[in-house]
Structure 1
């Protein structure tokens, strides 16, 4: 099973982008999302090579929207990677923990 640590930073950001883009997370929408967060523009080749690698690892699925456009969605495994990382970060950040948790 692929973990958060098996992925490059860019691949982790792509999983986040797929989860964050609400309407048809297709390649150019993902590129726009990432371009807003990266100092340098995202190269199309880099984007699509990494999307292919994530699909090969069964972390995302792609569905053809038209002859030139694919829509990308997280698989259960891709969602698991994001959820496990979110849980790890929550555990490391006391202010992110729910108020009144298990403490008594």
Structure 2
């Protein structure tokens, strides 16, 4: 099974985008979501190659929305991967900060 840290940063962002996009998370909707967050526009080839890899790894489902458009959804494994990472981040954020410089 693929772990969160085996994915590229872009693939991790794609999982987040699929979870976050309202309505049907089709390719161009995912591209729009990511374009708002990245400094440079996302290349179509990069987008679809990475979506294909996520489908092949079992983290994302690809279904036909219409004759020309695919919709992408998280599989149970993809959703669990995101949830475990979110839980890890939440736990890390609740850790007490170390005292520096001898201040009390």
Question: Please, what is the CA RMSD of the aligned residues?
Answer: 0.9
Q: Distance in 2 between matches of 1:20 and 1:5?
A: 20
Where 1:42 maps in the other structure, the secondary structure is coil
- Normalised to the residue count of structure 1, the TM-score between the two structures is 0.89
Where 1:2 maps in the other structure, the secondary structure is coil
Larger Rg: 2
Q: Equivalences for 1:1-104 in 2 at 5 Å? A: 1-94=1-94
Post-superposition offset of 1:91? 0.9
Q: Distance in 2 between matches of 1:79 and 1:8?
A: 17
Runs of 4+ in 1 over 4 A off after TM superposition: none
Q: Distance in 2 between matches of 1:62 and 1:5?
A: 22
| Deviations 1:29-67 (CA, angstroms, capped at 9, x unpaired) | 000000000000000000000000000000000110112
Number of aligned pairs?
95
- Mark the runs of 5 or more structure 1 residues left unpaired by the alignment: 96-104
- Normalised to the residue count of structure 2, the TM-score between the two structures is 0.89
